[in-house]
Structure 1
Amino acid sequence: MKPILKDKEEFPTIENLANHLSQKNLALYQQLLEEIHACSFKEDWNYYNDGKTWLSKILFKKKNLGWISIWETGVKVTVYFGERVWPQLVANELFNKLEANDASIQKSGKLNAVLIPIQDETSLHVAIELVNLKKNIK
């Protein structure tokens, strides 16, 4: 599985994403944006030279709450948690929902990345819950 938005000149508009995503995944992506905007979050697409791919930050004001990436298999949301707040996530009932929705956890130094593939409405809502938890966690 690889990220697919590799062309620096091809900004990830809905029209461009329609060339890369199935109808179902494009609809889920559009629904994800609607949910993000309903929470007063915004997406901010940038091309990153280190990974040679487009990624979108999920922002609340200036706080980065997570990332949206586009893969061969669809859309993923990734949220990072530091070691200090990680126990709060593990203790939260949301943690069981993450496991039930094929989320994966990758530890990188002092950060834990939670990756959620957006496969249906349930996983989409779990991703939004996770982003909200990140916003509210102190």
Structure 2
Amino acid sequence: MKPILKDQTEFPTIENLAKHLSVENLNLYQQLLEELHKHSFKEDWNYYKDGNNWLSKILFKKKNLGWLSIWKTGVKVTVYFGERVWPQLVANDLFHQLEANEASIHKTGKLTAVLLPLKNEESLRTAIKLINFKKNIK
């Protein structure tokens, strides 16, 4: 399954996202944005021609901390970790929360992607912790 925002002319506004998301998933998305903004993070939507899809970077200043994507099943947050940092995440209590929230892990070359579907308040809190973890690693 792939993200579903395929129309390059349809910027992902709340109104446009409402056409694709259930009321519950739209509410989770809006809560996620509120939490991101509280932490001084920004979302930056762009249309990527390589995947023919809208994706949003999650930025802190100019640092890309992760990605937002919209799927038939709802909103997903994806955060990438390099080989040096991955053991720190696995050793952290946060890793068990990721597993409990049905995060999927995909290794691609030297990077490992953690895809976390937003299903409820708990997965939302876990997503914010994951983004903060990425922001704070050295």
TM-score, normalised to structure 2, is 0.99
C-alpha distance in 1 between matches for 2:137 and 2:23: 35
C-alpha distance in 1 between matches for 2:13 and 2:100: 31
Paired residue secondary structure (1:50)? coil
Q: What letter matches 2:7 in structure 1?
A: D
Aligned pairs for 1:91-130 within 5 A: 91-130=91-130
Instruction: Give the CA deviation at 1:2.
Output: 2.6
Paired residue secondary structure (2:116)? strand
Aligned pairs for 1:1-138 within 5 A: 1-138=1-138
Instruction: Give the CA deviation at 1:133.
Output: 0.2
Deviations 1:69-99 (A, max 9, x none): 0000000000000000000000000000000
Instruction: Give the CA deviation at 1:40.
Output: 0.3
5+ residue gaps in structure 2? none
Instruction: Give the CA deviation at 1:3.
Output: 1.0
C-alpha distance in 1 between matches for 2:60 and 2:52: 25
C-alpha distance in 1 between matches for 2:100 and 2:9: 37
Q: Runs of at least 4 residues of structure 1 off by over 6 A?
A: none
Fraction of identical pairs, as percent: 78
Paired residue secondary structure (1:36)? helix
C-alpha distance in 2 between matches for 1:66 and 1:2: 17
5+ residue gaps in structure 1? none
Deviations 1:6-39 (A, max 9, x none): 0000000000000000000000000000000000
C-alpha distance in 2 between matches for 1:116 and 1:127: 7
Aligned CA RMSD, in angstroms, stands at 0.4
